[in-house]
Amino acid sequence: MFAQPNISPSLQAELGKAAVNAAHAVNYVGAGTVEFILDRHSHAFHFMEMNTRLQVEHPVTEMVTKTDLVEWQFRVASGEKLPLSQEEIHLHGHAFEARICAENPGNSFMPGAGLLQYLITPIPNSDVRVETGVRQGDEVSIHYDPMIAKLVVWGEDRTCALMKMRAQLTEYNIVGVDTNLDFLLDLCNHSKFFSGNVHTNFIEQYRSELLAQKTPPDHIIIQAALAMILSEQLEDEKAAAASQGPFSPFFSEFGFRLNHLLVRDISFTYGKQVITVQVTHKKQDGFLMRINGAEKQFDISGTLSLTDGRLNITCHMDKRVVKSHVVITPTHIHLFTKDGSYQFALPVHKFMSVEKEGVGAVGGDVAVAPMPGVVEKLYVTAGDIVKIGEPLFVIIAMKMEHVIRAPRDGQVEKIYCHVGGNVLKDAVIVKFVKDDKDGQNAV
């Protein structure tokens, strides 16, 4: 058992006693987890359930009691006695566990699936545990829940532990699937959470703050543009190394670079926002950059460097130095900073058009699968008349049911799947009769 904010030692003792009594009442022998729900005003508590196993949160107990409960299970199962009695177990400090999940908090925490194209974790030590079963290149499957890892930290007190959790979350870098990492970081940074004023309605109460769409600040946009330019320069250097003939335009170390315009526009998107950075190459090293035609112009220089498997960007911005981890893919630039991560969609080539990744058929005339999964139920057949919001079908994915509802009033024209069938993300499941402008097919 571990200490929680606003729970007195006497209340903690009562909870522990009630848990032991529950086990005794059913003559239970073995590891178990008893859960209670507590009224934060009256401090009255009520029994919820008992799980006859270790729960996913057991590392928190291990960190604050300095025990290995899994080892204890093996010892007891082999006939040994418990290594310690209850009186010999003492609490030390505070611990947090964050569940890193493949899900989209901005879309009702919809679980996702896909390939872990890039995965860097915090470095474990005596105060930091990373419990995971995946590596870079593995797939988050639709057949299991979307949890990627458990990140557990320990500190001398709650404040210390929470500050460590903040720092370690920024060291967890994932590309390939949506995750809740930024949401967890925002949660740790929330003043009410920091003070320990936590309750079961916390996320709903502060939804607008915790799930707000971030607007990238200027220094983040500048780093994204600089990363794109510096990566192009690295490609040029590779070309130069491969083309050392005296008549090659890459042979000279000086002079004008063929694909580097004196002034150019770099365009990418952040969410639905199109961002354009005007870049002027200075005669000496560095650039002048202007964001979305603003009057303010930044004097920029910087470098890319590889350290411990991470590509780092160091950006000198006027008289300021900013640093981030960066991952560059053919379609995106991902920046990982101490304040969270930012993802910018790149142009198809190196100019202005932008291609979005993973956009499927959506809109008024079709209903699509929001993720890969198995069709569990179909509520409609061809010819049915439905109203907006009525359930159309159910998909099972990540051990959860997801009800997909009608995007508009209309008549079902065709069903493209059957119950028990596997479907891919963005697969069209239900097609509606197309509305004509005269409203002949409108319902």
- Smallest Cα–Cα separation from 388: which of 350, 432, 329? 432
Chain-centroid distance, C-alpha 359: 18
Question: How many angstroms separate the CA atoms of 149 and 133, rounded?
Answer: 7
User: Which amino acid is it at 88?
Assistant: E
Assess contact for 103 and 178: CB atoms under 8 A: yes
Residue for token digits 């198809």? 348
Question: How many angstroms separate the CA atoms of 5 and 14, rounded?
Answer: 16
Q: CB neighbours (10 Å) of residue 131? A: 14
DSSP 382-440: TT-EE-TT-EEEEEEETTEEEEEE-SSSEEEEEE---TT-EE-TT-EEEEEPPPPTT-T
Active site residue 290: no
Question: How many angstroms separate the CA atoms of 160 and 125, rounded?
Answer: 16
From the list 53, 264, 290, 320, the catalytic residue is 53
**275 token code pair:** 């961002």
> What is the torsional sign of CA 207, 210, 211, 215?
positive
- Smallest Cα–Cα separation from 375: which of 322, 443, 326, 424? 424
Instruction: Characterise 307 by phi-psi region: left (phi > 0), alpha (psi -120 to 50), beta (else).
Output: beta
Q: Facing residues of 128 across strands?
A: 125, 153
Helix (H) or strand (E) segment spanning residue 372: none
- Smallest Cα–Cα separation from 180: which of 220, 136, 147? 147
Return the active site residues: 53
